[in-house]
Amino acid sequence: MTTAIEQSMNNEILLDEPLAPKRTRRQEFWSLLRKNRLAIWGLVTFIIFFFVALTGLFLTAGTNPIMDPSMVRLQEKLRPPMARPNMDTLKSVEIPALGIYLFGTDDLGRDVFARMLQGAWVSLTVGFVAVGISVLIGIFMGGIAGYFGERQFRIDHLIVAGLLIIGIGLVIANIYVWGNITFLAGLLWLFDLIVRRKRSNTRRGPTGAGLLQKNALSVDTLIMRFVDIMLCFPSFILILTVIAILPASIYNIMIVIGLTSWMGATRFVRAEFLSLREQDFVTAARALGVGNFRIIFRHMMPNAIAPVLVSATIGIATAILTEAGLSFLGFGVPPPHATWGNILSDGKGFIFDAPWLTFVPGFAILIVVLSFNLFGEGLRDALNPKLREGR
């Protein structure tokens, strides 16, 4: 018996197909990405822009920068690109570092090239950080909604949450006594719920408690209806409201844009999770004793990330444009600081007299967004092992 088994196992080993030449995962990834020329162009363009933005940050920063983006030369206003400055009328500090106005000057005679350099860093970071925030929130919410969607909140859960929120609200509204009482009552009840959940068998309480134990709404309903509510707000107006309350700074804008643009990612992730949850490998992972959160973030997320990646690359573009719009309305980055958005919107009034004021930042945004989309798509293809086989 044993010999027969060993025989068959040996046979199997002998029958095994010859191995293909092996490469490490990184080599394989690179060779795939390299074949996708558009993606490589996207990556290269983006890297160039990144370094330009980085050098721009250094060249234009400080009290006495090499290229001063806020240097006003009223006599040199609206000069076209490549124009030579009129050396006779300028003081030596006013002469641009390059010797020419590479991208022309705006209506105040400021060097557009210097302003573009300064704005590049803002635009790129706004795009990245805002999308980063929104994707993180989206993945988390979508993951919870997709994986735990069937879990139910009971009526008593909702009452506890209500008590806690009302309590905090009253305390904030300076009604301390009632606020604290409500809050403590909520906490006690919460504690009771947790303790009783541990002893799951003794769940049957007095008969009146039956009503409280009725299922009220599912996790999925809660999260997805919240998404719907968020989508109902015109997000730009919402951002305006928040910005009006908060002090205008780059970071607040990043955070607010991030907090108002996670709904798309949530929907994508949830939709992917609903189909992934029923897949055999998820059941198999659970059968191995893998925890819920590890399954969500390690097993399911890499399978669900592709549409999120693509929407994120588009989201970066949207975030840059949103920041531009905010700057235009005067709610964005405070005025002396240039961003691509406010260069664009400042130049809007001179679009026929000085088209470079709109074309230069517009073209820059276009190229960054385009290179991002191409790279994102190439990345998705190269990261997806299912697509590797056919090539």
Partner 1 sequence: MATNQDMLLSIQDLKVYFRGNGKIARAVDGVSCEVAHGETVCLVGESGCGKTVSALTILGLISQPPGEIVGGRILFKGQNLLDMTEDEMQKIRGNRIAMVFQEPMTSLNPVFTVGDQIEEAIMVHENVSPAETRERCVRLLTDVGIAAPEERLKDYPHQLSGGQRQRVMIAMALACHPELVIADEPTTALDVTVQAQILNLFAALQKKMGMSLLYITHDLSVVAKIADRIYVMYAGIIVEQADASDIFHHPHHPYTQGLLASLPARGNRGKKLHSIPGQVPDPAYKPSGCPFHPRCDFAVTTCHDTLPEMCDDGKGHLSRCPVLYELRYETGGGRDQFIQ
Contact residues for partner 1 (CB under 8 A)? 1-2, 4-6, 8-9, 12-13, 16-17, 19, 22, 24-25, 150, 198, 200-201, 279-281, 283-291, 294, 298-299, 302-303, 384-386, 388-389
Chain centroid to Cα 322, Å, comes to: 13
Q: Are 373 and 313 in contact (CB under 8 A)?
A: yes
Q: What does the alpha-carbon distance between residue 56 and residue 210 come to, in Å, rounded to a whole number?
A: 66
Q: What does the alpha-carbon distance between residue 276 and residue 297 come to, in Å, rounded to a whole number?
A: 12
Q: Which is nearer to partner 1, 88 or 389 (CB)?
A: 389
Q: Are 222 and 199 in contact (CB under 8 A)?
A: no
Least spacing, CB of residue 52 vs partner 1, in Å:
35
Least spacing, CB of residue 40 vs partner 1, in Å:
23
Q: Which is nearer to partner 1, 133 or 301 (CB)?
A: 301
Q: Which is nearer to partner 1, 2 or 63 (CB)?
A: 2
Least spacing, CB of residue 293 vs partner 1, in Å:
11
Helix or strand (DSSP H, E) at 239? helix 235-245
Shortest CA distance to 215 belongs to which of 259, 260, 276, 156?
Answer: 156
Q: Which is nearer to partner 1, 125 or 384 (CB)?
A: 384
Q: Which is nearer to partner 1, 5 or 244 (CB)?
A: 5
| 79 three-state secondary structure | coil
Least spacing, CB of residue 133 vs partner 1, in Å:
25
As a dihedral over the C-alpha atoms of residue 365, residue 371, residue 372, residue 373, rounded to 10 degrees, the angle is: 110
Least spacing, CB of residue 296 vs partner 1, in Å:
13
Q: Which is nearer to partner 1, 162 or 291 (CB)?
A: 291
Sign of the C-alpha dihedral, residues 146, 152, 158, 164? negative
Least spacing, CB of residue 273 vs partner 1, in Å:
14
